[in-house]
A = this chain, B = another copy of it.
Amino acid sequence: MTEKLAIENLSEKNFDEFVKLMKLFADFEKLTPPDDDARKRLKRDGIGKNTKYEAYLFKINDKYVAYAIFLMAYGSFKGMPTLFLEDVFVLKEYRKKGIGQQILNFVVKKAKDRNCDRIDLYVLDWNENAIKFYEKNKFKLMNWKIYRMENKQII
């Protein structure tokens, strides 16, 4: 049976839980988790007015089990906003229960509400479960490469 999720906006109240989940996601992805400075910036940039990203936490029976972050990008040739799905993470022991699907449905509804005509996301190439999940949900693999210039070249 699919479990009923409660959804919360990121706030002062759940911020610590949010960072805790984000650290677990970074570990899972074998990436560097947020340090203390990143934590301060995440608080400043994600709560209140003029936020730079939008985050939601998901609870089951008062336990925070998942989070999602997205932001608004833009598709120039279409002239329409793109929802860019930055992070989706479900605690390991809560996977395979339909929670990811409920979160994706929530995100698709947000995309619709914001007049986005598409949702983009990056998947690590070894993350087969994520790839299966997104393909099942009609996401298509794009024949594009992602290139990144990092801080040493910029700052």
**Residues of A that sit less than 8 Å from B by CB:** 22, 26, 31-34, 37-42, 45, 52-53, 69, 71-81, 84, 86-87, 108, 111-112, 116-126, 131, 134-135, 137-155
User: Are B74 and A118 in contact, CB atoms less than 8 angstroms apart?
Assistant: no
Interface majority SS on A: helix, strand, loop or mixed?
A: mixed
**Chain B nearest CB: distance from A126 CB in Å?**
8
Contacts of A76 in B (CB 8 A): 22, 34, 42, 53, 69, 86-87
User: Are B137 and A149 in contact, CB atoms less than 8 angstroms apart?
Assistant: yes
Cα distance A124–B147 in the bound complex, in angstroms: 11
**Chain B nearest CB: distance from A141 CB in Å?**
6
User: Are A144 and B125 in contact, CB atoms less than 8 angstroms apart?
Assistant: yes
User: Are A148 and B154 in contact, CB atoms less than 8 angstroms apart?
Assistant: no
User: Are A111 and B154 in contact, CB atoms less than 8 angstroms apart?
Assistant: yes
Cα distance A77–B21 in the bound complex, in angstroms: 11
Contacts of A137 in B (CB 8 A): 149, 153
